[in-house]
Chains A and B, each alone.
Chain A
C-alpha cells in the first residue's frame, strides 16, 4: 500500500535521511526501529509530508504522493501521530477528536465516529468536555491516537507511542494497537520499547544513519544477531 523508495531528506544543510526504503501492506503492524538520531521521526515526517523529500519517491496505493501536501495525505488516509502528542491543550477532548476527523467532516458521521472512539477509550468519554491540556500523559496519548483514528486512516503512524507512559498504559496502548490493526488499517510504529514493539509487530524495518539497514518479518529480525545486540541489549 505504501512504497517509500530511496528517499533522502535535509534539515537546512544537515542531512537526516540518506537512503530510506520502506514498503507497507494493507494491514498489520510494522515496527520502525533504530538508534537515536537514526532518522525514524524524519521518515514519518517525510511520509506525512511535513518534511519534503529531497530525492526519492513516496507512493501510496499506487499514486505518487511525493509532492502532496500534508492535508491531501490525510485525505488519502495517511495519519501521523507526532511524538510528544501535540494536543490542542485549550480545546476540550471532544473538540480535539472532532478536529481529528476534519478531513471527513462532510460525511455527517462525526458523531458515530466519536462514539466509536469513546467505546474504545471509555475514559475519554468521561473527560470529553475537559481541556485536553489538563489530562494525564496517558490520557493525552489516548486522545492523540483517538484524534488520529477519527479520520479513519488507512495508515496510522505513531511516533514514540509509549514515551513517558506508565507501564500499565504502555500495555494498554500496545493491545490497543493490536486491536485497531486487525481491521483494514496498517499501523507504523516507532517505538523504543523494542521488545514490546517486536512482540506485536508483523514486520520490522531498522534504519540507522538515515539508511534502511535491515527489513523483514519479525521472526527473522528477532533471530538476527545484529538486532539482538544493538537493540535488545542481550
Chain B
C-alpha cells in the first residue's frame, strides 16, 4: 500500500511536470494552430538559460525565472513575427515542418555553442526532500507541481474571463472573421505565441533543478507534451492538467507494478485508448458545428 501511495505520488508529481510543459504547448497548438515540434527545444533553451544564470551569477532558478520568462516571451514573439506569421496562410503541414526545421536548428545550435555536455543546476533547496507518512518528495518537484496548478488556474481564468482570452478563443476558431470585426489578429498571435513560449519557459526553468541540461534535454518531452494536450483536449487548460496527471500516474504505476521498460508503452497505449473513446480528447468539445450553420 505504501509502495502504491509512493508510486502514485511520484506519478502525480511527474504528471505535474508534464502538465507544466503542456500548457504552453496547448496555447500554441490550440490558438496559433501550429503543431510545434520545437516545443521541447523551447524547454531546452529555458533550461540552458537557467543553468548559465546559475553558473555565472549563482542565481537561483526561482529568481532567474523572472528574467527568463520575459526573455522567452520576446523570443516567442520574434519567432511568430519573422518565421511563423509570414506563413500564416500556408497549409498546417507546412507549418509543422518549419517548426521541425526550427527544432533541428535549435538542438544543434545548442550542440555547436555548448557541446554535448550534460549539465546540472545545483540548487540545494530544490533537492531537499520532505517525507510525509513515509512518502517523500523534493521541494523542486513539489514547486513544479504547485506552479502547474497555478498556471492552469490562471490560464483558465484568462481564457474564460478576460478580453484577451476571448480574443484568443475567437482567433482559434476563425481568425479571418476575427480580423474582419476589427481585432488586430497579428498582434494577438504575437501575444499567444509569446505567452505559450513564456509558459514553456517556466516549465523549463522549474525542471532544470532536477533534470540534466543538454541539447536533447527537451526533445524527449515534445511527443509527451503533445500526447498530454491532445488527451486533455485542444485549447482546454484543465484538460492538460488532467491529461498530464493521468499519464504521469500511468507511467509510474505501470513502471512500478509491471515493468519500467514498458512504462512509456503504457503511456502511449492509454493515449490511443482514450482517443478511441473520445476522439476530441477528454475535455475536447464536439467540433462538428459545420452543419449547424457555422463556418
Contacts and interface: CB of A to CB of B under 8 A. Distances in A.
Direct contact of A and B (CB under 8 A): yes
Interface of A: 48, 50, 70-71, 73-75, 79-80, 82, 84-91, 95, 98-100, 102-103, 105, 133-134, 137, 140, 147-148, 151, 164
A149 B73 CA distance: 35
Interface in B141-183: 163, 166-167, 169-170, 173-174, 176-183
Interface string B225-259: 00000000000000000000000000000000000
B86 interface: no
B117 interface: no
Interface residues of B, number: 23
Given A91-B169, A133-B292, A102 B174 contact: no
B293 A85 contact: yes
Given A48-B180, A82-B177, A88-B174, A105 B166 contact: no
A70 B180 contact: yes
A137 B181 contact: no
A140 B292 CA distance: 10
Contacts of A105: 163
25 contacts: A48-B180, A70-B182, A71-B179, A71-B182, A84-B293, A84-B295, A86-B294, A87-B294, A88-B177, A89-B294, A89-B295, A91-B166, A91-B170, A91-B173, A95-B169, A95-B170, A99-B181, A99-B183, A100-B181, A102-B181, A133-B289, A133-B292, A133-B294, A148-B181, A151-B181
A84 to B, nearest CB: 8
A143 to B, nearest CB: 11
A151 B170 contact: no
B293 A137 contact: yes
Max chain B Cβ within 10 angstroms of own Cβ: one of A86, A88, A98, A148:
A88
Contact of A102 (B182, B292, B293, B295): B182
Given A89-B292, A91-B173, A137-B293, A99 B180 contact: no
B49 to A, nearest CB: 35
Given A88-B173, A91-B170, A99 B178 contact: yes
Contacts of B173: 88-91
Max chain B Cβ within 10 angstroms of own Cβ: one of A90, A103, A134:
A90
Nearest to A134: B292
Max chain A Cβ within 10 angstroms of own Cβ: one of B174, B184, B292, B294:
B294
Contact of A99 (B167, B176, B184): B167
A193 B293 CA distance: 20
A94 to B, nearest CB: 10
Given A85-B293, A133-B294, A90 B179 contact: no
Contact of A88 (B169, B179, B182, B293): B169
Max chain A Cβ within 10 angstroms of own Cβ: one of B182, B185, B292:
B182
A102 B183 contact: yes
Max chain B Cβ within 10 angstroms of own Cβ: one of A95, A148, A151:
A95
Nearest to B176: A50
